[in-house]
Amino acid sequence: MSEPTTELYQITDDPTTPEGGPVLVHSLAGFIDAGQAGRLAVEHLLEHLDSRVVATFDTDQLLDYRSRRPVMMFETDHWAGYGRPELTLHEVRDSEGTPFLLLAGPEPDLQWERFVAAVTELVERFGVRLTVGLDAVPMAVPHTRPVTVTAHATRPELVADHERWFGTVEVPASVSALLELRLGEAGHDAVGFAAHVPHYLARAEVPAAALELLDQFGAVSGLAVPAEALRPAADQAIAEVDQQIATSDEVSAVVRRLEQQFDAAAQTRGRRPLLAAEVDELPTAEEIGAELEQFLAEQDGSVED
């Protein structure tokens, strides 16, 4: 007999239920999140829209503190504070006042199936009509091209208008991916979007990737999401990378080769995956990324900090 999942969370306030049921969007920190795009997207939503907490999860049961130690504040001769990890479900209202749910916080280290079952219970209790996952992965793409995404869903119709970038691959599991799988098995609609971040910027903040994730979320949910407010930060970040790369003719040439690889692969969309494009006389994605990452690491650190 399975353990009761209600012991993992506490409902603090019943959310408002819009006509047709709310949308639930989630982004859990701790997996890849290249360019910190998921974190930036969550922070942007909570900063620019009205929100309140409607449920909290028991992180003591879900997190391995020794592998991801929280931060404490020490002042002179005493401990003054503790950054307690929080995994929370928020009710957020979009720009037109329509409520939706946002699940955010650290990805659980433990009890994945119980956690996913608990979220599924909340989906059913609150009548969620669509669950949307947001994350980002490092890819062999140049920062000078529009951000692309991999879309996936529990039903093909939900992402029919999106490009297919991959065939069949094995990847490390995540709670977000498991949640989508289990929701589909239970008959619930769920989609996910993974922004493609240049892997030489994977440890940097890439607001352009967060902007694309929010655009995708708004499009699939029909919610009014203030994504464009991220545009100035996205443009500034790209300009800073351009400025650093321009100081090296060698690295500029590498970026041009990566652009050629991306453009050549783009022409083959629908016939073979992006990373499988065969482009003559071009370095591999790993070689290009290694060169760029090494160059940027040798700069003043502003890109990766």
- Which CA distances in Å does 246 have to 90, 102, 174, 238, 241? 43, 40, 37, 12, 9
H-helix or E-strand containing 25? strand 23-29
Yes or no: say if 191 and 14 are a contact pair by the CB < 8 Å rule.
no
Mean pLDDT by 10 residues, the chain (305 residues): 72 93 96 93 97 97 94 97 97 98 97 97 97 94 92 95 82 95 98 93 94 97 96 95 88 85 74 41 52 56 44
Yes or no: say if 147 and 181 are a contact pair by the CB < 8 Å rule.
no
Partnered with residue 191 across adjacent β-strands are: 132, 153
Residue 281: what pLDDT?
Answer: 45
Dihedral Cα 235, 240, 246, 250, nearest 10 deg: -100
Name residue, tokens 């504070």. Answer: 81
Residue 257: what pLDDT?
Answer: 85
| pLDDT per position as a tens digit, 8-59 | 999 999 999 999 999 999 999 988 899 999 999 999 999 999 999 999 999 9
Yes or no: say if 101 and 46 are a contact pair by the CB < 8 Å rule.
no
| pLDDT per position as a tens digit, 163-177 | 877 778 888 899 999
Angle, alpha carbons 169-174-180 (nearest 5°):
85
Residue 39: what pLDDT?
Answer: 96
Angle, alpha carbons 166-150-290 (nearest 5°):
75
Q: How far apart are CA 190 and CA 131, in angstroms?
A: 5
Residue 254: what pLDDT?
Answer: 80
As given in the structure block, the two tokens for residue 266 are 């783009």
Every domain of the chain and the residues it spans: 5-229, 236-297
Q: How far apart are CA 297 and CA 259, in angstroms?
A: 21
Residue 193: what pLDDT?
Answer: 97
Residue 269: what pLDDT?
Answer: 58
CATH code: domain 5-229 is 3.40.50.10900
Residue 16: what pLDDT?
Answer: 93
Q: Could you tell me the pTM of the whole model?
A: 0.86
